[in-house]
A and B are shown apart, each in its own frame.
Chain A
């Protein structure tokens, strides 16, 4: 079946350093879209990035991600992490019938 895998449950980084959150997927859908959602403490998840174009970089709020169908990946990166980036991040796949499949989530903690 279709699945999204986020290998790190917890990522800790020092403020100002780069951060990368990994996301890989398996799908049988031909037309796919990918999302990164962010959930701040006691808040609802909200969309951070979306991409459906292979090898095209998508950016928002200092974060960027590139969909690589050749490696089935959609990693999230930021060049300089901020304290306010501490949150739970979800990678999600939408393949069809409006069903979003989420990964397990990665908790990012940025320390000073």
Chain B
């Protein structure tokens, strides 16, 4: 069963704390993504990863970094979280750079930074 798994589903952090959001996929997809979803803004691309240790900034990378040491795992890190990073974060994957037939999304992580 093809799936993208995100952990945790819900997370509450205090401002200034570090945050680690994890994402896994079982489809051997090359390309993985992190998006954040905010009302009225839609889905905004934070980072894209084309494979292990091959990451590229998306449209809103400031305040975030990523790590991809294995093809099936893609992590999003917030160093010293800010209240404006409260959002729903979605991880997604697709087969390859040249095959964007569809993105497979995880169920999201709802992050609240207090």
Give the B-binding residues of A (Cβ under 8 A).
Answer: 6, 9, 33, 35, 37, 42-47, 50, 90, 92, 94, 97-105
Contact = CB atoms under 8 A, between A and B. Distances in A.
A87 B34 CA distance: 22
A47 B103 contact: yes
A104 B31 contact: no
Contacts of B97: 97-98
A98 B100 contact: yes
A43 B107 contact: yes
Interface of B: 4, 31, 33, 35, 40-45, 48, 50, 56, 58-59, 90, 94, 96-98, 100-103, 105-108
A44 to B, nearest CB: 4
Contacts of A6: 42
A45 B107 contact: no
B50 to A, nearest CB: 7
B102 A47 contact: yes
A68 B18 CA distance: 45
A46 B92 CA distance: 10
B30 to A, nearest CB: 9
Contacts of A92: 43
